[in-house]
Amino acid sequence: MSTSVLAVGAWLKNAACLVLDGRAHWSPVHGDLSDPAACDALERSVQALARQAEAAGAPVQAIAHDLHPDFFSTQLAIATADALGVPAIGVQHHHAHLAAVVAEHGIEGQVVGLALDGVGLGTDGMPWGGELLWLDGPRWQRLGHLQPLALPGGDRAAREPWRMAASALHALGRADEIVPRFAPVVGEAVAAGVRQMLDKHLNCPLTSSAGRWFDAVAGALGLCHHQQDEAQAAIALEQAATRAISALPDLPPLAGAVRHDDGRIDLRAVLAQLFDAPDADAAAAGFHLALADALAEALITAARGRGARTAALGGGCFFNRILRERTVQRLQAAGLRVCQPGDKGCGDAGLAIGQAWVAAQQLQTSQTTFPVEESTPCA
């Protein structure tokens, strides 16, 4: 009997996926699981996909889910697996992003990849989001990540980019600038409170998230202090960078990126140049190029060290055209085959097939790929 695995997806842009007889069967995109209607829709889809597998004579053998224990999708997966008498298998968020690319393209053998997004729970319990990973069948390893930044106020920092800019100032040893810079925007009491949180490490978890780095830059340049919509700051930053590159196509990256021996990709020295940049658009472009080059160089080094010839890119930050195209260009110039997500895009809506692929690896290690229709060719 072929492997039959059902995966319940992530928290944002949730969609479930049943992999049956080597083919992917998707639910509709339910939306974010903060909405009770999306949770109800996911539950109905999971039941329907399980019935589909049963009717095909290949009952579900495992249910894959995100590592975060508080997600509705995780709780649903565990409850459904218990009811069916099959294992529930947790899959790290960024591992799933890159595994989705592996599954869609039917890649065999080892892959080195970048998974860049807003947040996903790491195996160390910390919020990840700027990850360099190695995959080879059922094995995977975190090889590197963006320099972590503190999240002053926790999840609130993701909605208020000025907080990430304040975090960057603190990390640069420039905490005394936080209040004078941001009091005119948020009020002196609020700015001073964030300074105090950072000083005392109160409610300031660290994150390696690429999304939060974009927020810090947007806040530093004054492009966005509060977000009303998802990725508003990152979009404003990309638009500014696009204006600059359109005017000056040969604009160079900002200098200062460092790759540490422990795998940290550190752009603090790049970010330090942004707070007093005379041209916000040019500075936004310089940061984009510096980030792409630093990430690509880290991946190229890792690929050579491992003898890998294929690179995978995943996560919602790769919707950013400048970041995506610059990274792909650098990787291809180094002789790597570059694979990207297919028709469901690089965000969380296509994550579930990666969860299913990883779970299937654990069930049946000889089965390394799921052919999927309409995948994007590797470059």
- Alpha helices (runs of H) in the chain, residue ranges in sequence order: 36-55, 72-84, 93-105, 156-159, 161-171, 178-186, 188-200, 210-220, 232-247, 268-271, 280-306, 321-333, 352-363
- In 3D space, the residue among 259, 214, 220, 260 whose CA is nearest the CA of residue 237 turns out to be 214
* Mean of pLDDT over the chain: 94
For 146-172, how does the pLDDT look when each residue is reduced to its tens digit (9 = 90+)? Answer: 999 999 999 899 999 999 999 999 999
For a pLDDT cut of 90, what percent of the chain falls above it? 91
Asked whether residue 378 carries a pLDDT value surpassing 60, the answer given is: no
Strand partners, 232: none
| pLDDT of amino acid 291 | 98
Can you tell me the mean pLDDT for 184-191? 96
CA dist., res. 170 & res. 151, Å (int) = 11
Can you tell me the mean pLDDT for 342-363? 93
For 309-331, how does the pLDDT look when each residue is reduced to its tens digit (9 = 90+)? Answer: 999 999 999 999 999 999 999 99
| pLDDT of amino acid 365 | 64
Helix or strand run (H / E) with residue 89? strand 88-91
For 70-111, how does the pLDDT look when each residue is reduced to its tens digit (9 = 90+)? Answer: 999 999 999 999 999 999 999 999 999 999 999 999 999 999
Asked whether residue 372 carries a pLDDT value surpassing 60, the answer given is: no
> Which of 112-116, 365-369, 375-379: highest mean pLDDT?
112-116
- In 3D space, the residue among 272, 308, 271 whose CA is nearest the CA of residue 114 turns out to be 308
